[in-house]
């Protein structure tokens, strides 16, 4: 029931400015506590954890950044320099506790891959991991319907102006990200259906896509 | 369906100016650089999927499908909105509890969310309103009306009345969720007080495109506002 008329442009501008300030007025520490409580209420008895939201400033994130610089891979150093916050493995309910040696692959982020409109696919979650200086995208594509050709995994720029192939679908679901690829530039994970024609270029038929959300 | 070898974003909805179809080329690592024309004009913005709405639709679909990460994503995106609204409706002391209840309720009633009929932030605000009403019913009228009356008498400034602040939060959150290009335009035309011509110059964008982004953005902001009002 709208008993107020639609706001004018000017009123919208005032609301936007005021609202922006009001949104910043929120207490991050309070939100962390609230989220912990939500999770406690929502998690199943079997222990399937709801991932912590990216906003959370979990202690392991700070520990990670305080490691000697030589242990921070160069791509992450540049990411941190760009003030990018990634979901840390602990926050995802994975790699809990202090077991993380620098060589054990750690979950860096999760990427929700959504089906493109009209694509016959269910959403899946891809994981970004890093270990021993190697970064991987891990995604289980076995649930996709049998394609006419094969599935291929890509990293795309948000405006699709650049892309790199991570290769055709693999049974182990592990796709190595080549050195030198900056996830700031190519944050979109894409799964396409490729015809068996020997043409290495993207077919244009994407079935799943999702983006590592980077906050600047 | 491809266009001259380009990657067609196979979306049946009307093509937004920022749904660009570009020629594809397989990038070698050294050439994998994206060009974002908005970077020069504004502060760094978070990269989004084509159209910007992708994120909310992705989270919405995943939430309805019972994917737990979607609840975390919805918290990460809109908990400040929910908390801000809760604070206006039940006061600071109880806002934390109500925010928690909103997200628990959002999860439990996720199957009732219809992505066709609205967007997640508006739905969450609606749940917040419902829970705030329940909160007041439990507490009884006196303590809350005391808070509201005190507020009104102490500060005759109408811009800080609860419903006004709720409107402001909703508009700001909706602006934050806009597609990159639309957001860049209205940050200049609404927040920086520029004319559309000035914004076009600032963004190195054709005036017609700026007008289109401005119009669509304001339509989305008004729609978000309309849906969130009781």
Percentage of chain B lying above the pLDDT 90 cut: 52
Q: Which of A90-104, A188-202, B37-51, B169-183 has the lowest mean pLDDT?
A: B37-51
Q: Given this model, what pLDDT does residue A43 score?
A: 74
Q: Say whether pLDDT at A55 is over 60.
A: no
For residues A121 and A161, give the distance between their C-alpha atoms in angstroms, rounded to a whole number: 25
Q: Given this model, what pLDDT does residue A212 score?
A: 79
Q: Is the dihedral of CA A16, A18, A22, A24 positive or negative?
A: positive
* Confidence bin at A51 (pLDDT 50/70/90): low
Taking Cα atoms as reference points, which of A122, A88, A128 lies closest to residue A110?
A: A128
Please tell me whether residue B26 adopts helix, strand or coil conformation: strand
* Bridge partners of residue B6, in order along the sequence: B3, B23
How far A51 CA lies from chain B's nearest CA (Å)? 6
* Confidence bin at A169 (pLDDT 50/70/90): very high
For B91-149, write each residue's pLDDT tens digit: 999 999 999 999 999 999 999 999 888 899 999 999 999 999 999 888 776 555 545 55
Using an 8 Å CB-CB cutoff, list chain B residues near A117: 10-13
Using an 8 Å CB-CB cutoff, list chain B residues near A216: 43-46
Q: Given this model, what pLDDT does residue B142 score?
A: 55
Q: Given this model, what pLDDT does residue B19 score?
A: 37
* Confidence bin at A22 (pLDDT 50/70/90): very high
Q: Say whether pLDDT at B42 is over 50.
A: no
Using an 8 Å CB-CB cutoff, list chain A residues near B191: 13, 16-17, 20
For residues B187 and B36, give the distance between their C-alpha atoms in angstroms, rounded to a whole number: 17
B108: left (phi over 0), alpha (psi -120 to 50) or beta: alpha
User: Following DSSP, what letter does each residue of chain A receive, concatenated?
Assistant: ---SPPPPHHHHHHHHHHHHHHHHTS-HHHHHHHHHHHHHHHS-TT--PPPPPTT---HHHHHHHTS-GGGS-HHHHHHHHTT-----GGGGT-S-STT--TTS-EEEEEEEEEEPTT-----EEEEEEEETTEEEEE---TTSPPPSSEEEEEEE-TTSS-EEEEEE--TT-EEEEPTT--TTT--EEEEEEE-SSS--S--S-EEEEEE-----
Using an 8 Å CB-CB cutoff, list chain B residues near A18: 159, 164-165, 168, 172
Residue B220 phi, psi dihedral angles, 5° rounding: -65, -40
Task: Give the range with max mean pLDDT: A162-176, A191-205, B193-207.
Answer: B193-207
Q: Given this model, what pLDDT does residue B153 score?
A: 55
- Diameter of chain A by CA atoms? 63
Is the distance from CB of B174 to CB of B121 less than 8 angstroms?
Answer: yes
For residues A203 and A191, give the distance between their C-alpha atoms in angstroms, rounded to a whole number: 11
Provide the token pair at A52: 């912590």
Q: Given this model, what pLDDT does residue A4 score?
A: 56
pLDDT, mean of residues B43-56: 39
Q: Say whether pLDDT at A64 is over 50.
A: no
Interchain pair B67, A112: CB under 8 A: yes
For residues B88 and B228, give the distance between their C-alpha atoms in angstroms, rounded to a whole number: 14
Please tell me whether residue B30 adopts helix, strand or coil conformation: helix
Please tell me whether residue B206 adopts helix, strand or coil conformation: coil
Q: Given this model, what pLDDT does residue A135 score?
A: 87
Taking Cα atoms as reference points, which of B86, B75, B165 lies closest to residue B126?
A: B86
Q: Given this model, what pLDDT does residue A132 score?
A: 78
**Residue A87: CA count within 13 A, CB half-sphere:** 27
pLDDT, mean of residues A163-173: 88
Q: Say whether pLDDT at A109 is over 60.
A: yes
Is the distance from CB of B87 to CB of B36 less than 8 angstroms?
Answer: no
For residues B208 and B110, give the distance between their C-alpha atoms in angstroms, rounded to a whole number: 40
Location of structure tokens 């009633």: B109
Q: Say whether pLDDT at A12 is over 90.
A: yes
Q: Given this model, what pLDDT does residue B174 score?
A: 96
How far A97 CA lies from chain B's nearest CA (Å)? 20
Q: Say whether pLDDT at A128 is over 80.
A: yes
Q: Given this model, what pLDDT does residue A181 score?
A: 81
The DSSP symbol for B111 reads G
Of the two residues A74 and A212, the one the predictor is more confident about is A212
Q: Given this model, what pLDDT does residue B46 score?
A: 27
* Confidence bin at B54 (pLDDT 50/70/90): very low
Is the distance from CB of B127 to CB of A62 less than 8 angstroms?
Answer: no
Give the ipTM of the model, two decimals please.
Answer: 0.72
Whole-model pTM? 0.54
* Confidence bin at A107 (pLDDT 50/70/90): confident
Name the residue facing A163 among B27, B69, B76 (closest C-beta).
B27
In whole numbers, what is the pLDDT of chain A averaged over residues?
A: 71
Q: Given this model, what pLDDT does residue B29 score?
A: 29
For B140-161, write each residue's pLDDT tens digit: 765 555 455 555 556 567 778 9
* Bridge partners of residue A164, in order along the sequence: A155
* Confidence bin at A179 (pLDDT 50/70/90): confident
Residue A113 phi, psi dihedral angles, 5° rounding: -95, 120
The DSSP symbol for B170 reads H
For residues A137 and A158, give the distance between their C-alpha atoms in angstroms, rounded to a whole number: 17
Orientation angle between helical segments B68-90 and B54-64, nearest 10 degrees: 100
How far B131 CA lies from chain A's nearest CA (Å)? 15
Q: Given this model, what pLDDT does residue B73 score?
A: 82
How far B61 CA lies from chain A's nearest CA (Å)? 8
Strand A163-168, strand A106-115: pairing: unpaired
Q: Who contacts A204 (Cβ-Cβ below 8 Å, separation ≥6)? A: A192, B1, B2, B5, B6, B7, B8, B24
* Confidence bin at B48 (pLDDT 50/70/90): very low
Q: Given this model, what pLDDT does residue A202 score?
A: 86
């Amino acid at each position: 029931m709208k008993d107020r008329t639609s706001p004018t442009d000017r009123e919208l501008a005032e609301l936007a400015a005021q609202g922006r300030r009001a949104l910043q007025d929120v207490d991050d520490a309070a939100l962390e506590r609230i989220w912990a409580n939500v999770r406690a209420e929502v998690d199943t008895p079997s222990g399937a954890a709801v991932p912590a939201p990216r906003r959370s400033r979990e202690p392991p994130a700070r520990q990670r950044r305080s490691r000697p610089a030589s242990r921070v891979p160069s791509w992450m150093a540049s990411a941190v320099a760009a003030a990018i916050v990634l979901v840390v493995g602990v926050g995802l309910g994975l790699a809990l506790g202090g077991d993380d040696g620098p060589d054990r692959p750690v979950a860096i982020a999760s990427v929700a891959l959504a089906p493109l409109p009209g694509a016959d696919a269910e959403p899946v979650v891809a994981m970004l991991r890093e270990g021993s200086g190697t970064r991987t995208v891990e995604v289980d594509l076995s649930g996709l319907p049998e394609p006419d050709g094969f599935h291929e995994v890509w990293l795309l720029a948000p405006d699709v102006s650049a892309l790199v192939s991570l290769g055709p679908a693999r049974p182990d679901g592990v796709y190595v990200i080549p050195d030198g690829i900056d996830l700031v530039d190519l944050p979109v994970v894409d799964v396409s259906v490729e015809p068996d024609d020997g043409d290495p270029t993207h077919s244009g038929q994407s079935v799943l896509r999702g983006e590592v959300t980077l906050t600047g | 369906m491809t266009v001259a070898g380009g990657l067609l974003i196979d979306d049946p909805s009307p093509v937004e100016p920022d749904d660009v179809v570009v020629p594809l080329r397989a990038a070698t690592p050294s050439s994998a650089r994206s060009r974002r024309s908005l970077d020069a004009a504004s502060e760094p913005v978070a990269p989004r999927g084509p159209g910007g709405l992708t994120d909310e639709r992705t989270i919405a679909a995943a939430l309805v499908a019972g994917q737990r990460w979607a609840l975390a994503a919805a918290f990460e995106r809109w908990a400040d909105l929910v908390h801000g609204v809760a604070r206006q409706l039940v006061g600071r002391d109880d806002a934390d509890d109500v925010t928690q209840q909103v997200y628990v309720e959002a999860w439990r009633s996720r199957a009732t969310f219809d992505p066709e009929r609205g967007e997640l932030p508006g739905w969450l605000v609606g749940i917040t309103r419902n829970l705030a009403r329940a909160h007041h019913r439990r507490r009884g009228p006196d303590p809350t009306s005391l808070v509201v009356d005190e507020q009104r008498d102490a500060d005759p400034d109408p811009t800080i009345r609860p419903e006004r602040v709720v409107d402001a939060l909703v508009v700001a959150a909706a602006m934050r969720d806009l597609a990159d290009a639309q957001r860049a335009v209205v940050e200049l035309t609404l927040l920086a007080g520029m004319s559309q011509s000035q914004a076009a110059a600032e963004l190195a964008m054709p005036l017609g495109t700026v007008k289109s982004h401005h119009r669509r953005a304001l339509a989305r902001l008004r729609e978000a506002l309309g849906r969130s009002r009781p």
